[in-house]
Amino acid sequence: MKSLFLIPVLAIALTSCEELFDSLDEAGLTEGEIIQGLKDALTHGTDSAVVTLTAVDGFFGDALVKILLPEEAQPVYDVLQSVPILNGLVDETILTINRAAEDAATEAAPIFVDAITEMTIQDGLSILHGNDTAATSYLKQKTFQNLFDAFEPKISNSLNKDLVLGVSAEDSYSSMLNVYNTASINGILWDKIETNTLSEHTTNKALKGVFVKVAKEEKLIRDDPAHRVTDILEKVFAEQD
């Protein structure tokens, strides 16, 4: 019975694929050109994103991707900023986590290259006829865990370096949260703060920033012919205009 049910489903899927190929053939595009055009788009988009984010102030100087401390710990920061001797600690920590992200972003390039290389014609068709960030979604699905595994140790290393008075950003963050949570009497007086590792928070925010930048580049390539920097890019995406 399951086989009989699958027959019409497969027929519809095959018909849809055939229609897509027919439309692409009519436009003079081969499968190889489609894949190459999309690989060029992803390569250009990821290269631009990585170059931008790894520069000094790539994260820190861009409000779109700048990494702040976890929002739930805001009560702790308010206390710190009210103590004159600790007044600059929050700002210094924010600068440190953004510098850590800028440093870690260099790890993205080879991981993106691997994912782009593995793209199939099925992937390509889905991306070509998808929404304006379909290529970015493909990359995120293929690379997120590998990126996290590459970013986190590097960010952790940066955040464990001495920040002030021989104390690292990670140490100072963990210590102040421990004090705050202990004083809450296990959450009875106020909610405990659960985000207790700065490196994990920074890694997740850094990766979010990477994909925000890749998505921005993808939209430019789809929407603006001036950003189609190769002939094959222009040929493939001109058919989508």
Measured CA to CA, the distance from residue 188 to residue 185 in angstroms comes to: 5
Q: What's the pTM? A: 0.78
Burial state string for 167-179 with b = 16 or more CB within 10 A and e = fewer than 16: ebbbebbeebbee
The residue extents of the domains of the chain are 29-238
Q: 26 — phi, psi (to 5°)? A: -65, -30
What pLDDT was estimated at residue 103? 95
Measured CA to CA, the distance from residue 91 to residue 87 in angstroms comes to: 8
Hey, what are 169's tokens? 């950003």
What pLDDT was estimated at residue 223? 83
Q: 56 — phi, psi (to 5°)? A: -60, 130
Helix (H) or strand (E) holding 163: strand 162-164
Hey, what are 213's tokens? 């930048």
- What is the Cα Rg of the chain in Å? 23
What pLDDT was estimated at residue 72? 74
What pLDDT was estimated at residue 126? 87
Q: State which residues of the chain have pLDDT below 70.
A: 1-28, 77, 79-81, 83-88, 163-167, 176, 180, 183-190, 193-196, 239-241
Spatial contact of 181 and 190, defined as CB atoms under 8 Å apart: no
Q: Minimal CA–CA distance to 147: which of 68, 99, 67, 203?
A: 203
Q: Minimal CA–CA distance to 159: which of 145, 173, 179, 147?
A: 173
Estimate to the nearest angstrom the gap between the alpha carbon of 37 and the chain centroid: 22
For residue range 111-158, list pLDDT tens digits in order.
Answer: 999 999 999 888 888 888 889 899 999 999 999 999 999 999 999 999
3-state class (DSSP) for residue 167: strand
